[in-house]
Amino acid sequence: MLKQRIITAVILAPIALFAILFLPIEGFKLAVAGVICLGAYEWANMSGITARIFKGWFTLFIAVICAILILTVDAESIWRQGVLHPVYAFWLWISVFWWALSLAMIIAYPKYSESWKDSIAIRATFGVLTLIPTWIAVVSLRTSLYEVDPNYGASLLFYVLGIVWAADIGAFFVGVKFGKHKLRPNVSPGKTLEGLAGGVTASFAIIAFAAMHYQFESSQIGIHVVIGMITVAVSALGDLNESMVKRCAGIKDSGKLLPGHGGVMDRIDSLTAAFPVFAFCYMLWMA
């Protein structure tokens, strides 16, 4: 399994690198939308939608939302004098409320879940609230200060990817070696408090390096560290949220597209929380 995970990661990493660094913005929007649509197809299955045609309809619905956003807000209009477009900002606000609600649901699970766990419509709505803000966040970060430095937004994306991947790797190895105390056994039996601590420690190295790289003023270092740690913590929430929905659907993996990883959602679950929350914090305090 570990060998498959490494091979898949080695194949996907250069593709992601190329898309972030070399695709024009409009092409980048479409590429990210494609990933989101793959995730939507899997989320339909996690929602309890079993018929392929209805999975396709849900995927099309997500694709149409992305298309509307692409057609109605061009790249130059996403940011105006450091202010994010109101439509994009609205989706990020919605995302923050959604992840706060998701945290409450995870803490309480399985209590109070009867109102939603057997509802296909509600679980599908969870998918909309998870996937669309992810697209919004990634595109917002990539286009930030684009007219000043075309690679600045790319560095923001790599920063979030770096701290989330460091957290995942740290949590995996520390959890396997030292994990004893379950984080939320009713949601994801494999997650441990020791693994979470290992992930946070590993990601802190990336956060510290970024603080030096961006040469923040001393007054900004504190808020930068806080935002980084919030992003790491929320990435674990994204993982647990997907695990909770999969548990309701009675499935282990979201799909089979990525050998060793399961499906697309199994690979990006942490990022679906990390990117929107980081983009929200960036919009308020860093842009």
| pLDDT for the residue 216 | 59
pLDDT at 122 over 90: yes
pLDDT at 6 over 90: no
pLDDT at 29 over 90: yes
Mean pLDDT computed over 60-67: 98
Report helix, strand or coil for 272. helix
Most confident option among 4-8, 79-83, 149-153, 275-279: 275-279
pLDDT at 90 over 80: yes
Residue 30: Cβ-neighbour burial (10 angstroms; 0-12, 13-18, 19+): middle
79 token code pair: 């940011």
Please write the tens of the pLDDT for every residue from 252-274: 888 877 665 678 998 899 999 99
Which range among 126-130, 205-209, 216-220, 235-239 shows the weakest confidence by mean pLDDT? 216-220
% residues pLDDT > 70 (the chain):
92
Mean pLDDT computed over 160-168: 90
The model's pTM is 0.93
What is the C-alpha separation between 202 and 258, in angstroms, rounded? 25
- DSSP string of 236-258? HHHHHHHHHHHHHHT-SSS-SSB
Return mean pLDDT, the chain: 88
Mean pLDDT computed over 86-101: 97
- Could you give phi then psi for residue 190, rounded to 5 degrees? -80, -15
pLDDT at 1 over 60: no
What is the C-alpha separation between 108 and 182, in angstroms, rounded? 15
For residues 231 and 263, is the Cβ–Cβ distance under 8 A?
A: no
Which range among 28-37, 160-169, 202-211, 246-255 shows the weakest confidence by mean pLDDT? 202-211
Can you list the positions of beta strands (E) in the chain?
79-80, 83-84, 182-184, 188-192
Of residues 158 and 212, more confidently modeled:
158
Mean pLDDT computed over 75-100: 96
pLDDT at 149 over 50: yes
Amino acid at 140: S
| pLDDT for the residue 124 | 96
Of residues 104 and 2, more confidently modeled:
104
